[in-house]
Structure 1
Amino acid sequence: MAHFVYILASRPGGAIYIGRSHDLRARVEAHRAGLSVHTSKYNIRTLVWFEEHPDFESSLRRERSMKGWRRAWKIQLITQFNPNWMDMTHAIP
């Protein structure tokens, strides 16, 4: 089963949230519905980056690694993948 690591943002250069899920589409909808305190508080609703992993362990390692990154590195990753910080929900496989 595929697992995903993802980044949500409030706006370009704004607040960001890194997470992981095996059902990315449902998880993004849960964030948008306000079921996460952090994303609800800071209005973080736009899926701006994601990557697929073959298993739980690899997604967990990647998420933990990225959470330790400097903010500038996270912004650079998003900008390389999605220069306009557009919603990428339509691209979820």
Structure 2
Amino acid sequence: MEFAVYILKSLSSDRHYVGLTQNSISRFKSHNSLGKKGFTTRYRPCFVIWVEFYTTKAEAMSREKFLKSGKGREWMQNHIDDY
């Protein structure tokens, strides 16, 4: 099973969200319509601006942790045009 690390961008603000999932489609749907609480409910709608796939959960968790760090945010500014 693959693990996806993803970055969402809010259309209503300039906010970003970094997450990890095994089921991308249902997770993205949850962020935009199903979820009743949490970070992304305040910043809907969101769209996907980056996705990376990993074969192990440990690799994906490590990458997610990096992207949420200061160095990770710097990486996003340098590598993602829409950041």
Normalised by the size of structure 1, how large is the TM-score? 0.74
Whether 2:43 is the aligned partner of 1:38: answer: no
Q: Percent identity?
A: 25
CA RMSD of aligned residues (A): 2.1
Given that 1:32 and 1:45 are in contact with CA atoms closer than 8 Å, whether structure 2 keeps it comes out as yes
Query: Quick check: which one's strand share is greater?
Result: 2
- Kindly report which structure 2 residues correspond to 1:43-82, keeping only aligned pairs within 5 A, or say none: 43-70=44-71, 71-79=73-81
Gaps of 5+ in 1: 86-93
Letter in 2 for 1:73: W
Q: CA deviation at 1:14?
A: 1.2
Kindly provide the CA deviation profile for residues 20-79 of structure 1, in whole angstroms up to 9, marking residues without a partner as x: 001111110100115152111122510110000011110000000110035443233321
Q: Does the CA contact (< 8 Å) of 1:34 and 1:40 recur in 2? A: no
One-letter amino acid of the counterpart of residue 65, structure 1: F
Cα distance in 1 for partners of 2:15, 2:54 equals: 25
Cα gap change, 1:15 to 1:65, in 2 (>3 Å): same
Q: Unpaired runs of 5+ in structure 2?
A: none
Any conservation in 2 of the 1:18–1:63 contact (CA below 8 Å)?
Answer: yes
What's 1:89 paired with?
none
C-alpha distance in structure 1 between counterparts of 2:49 and 2:59, whole Å: 20
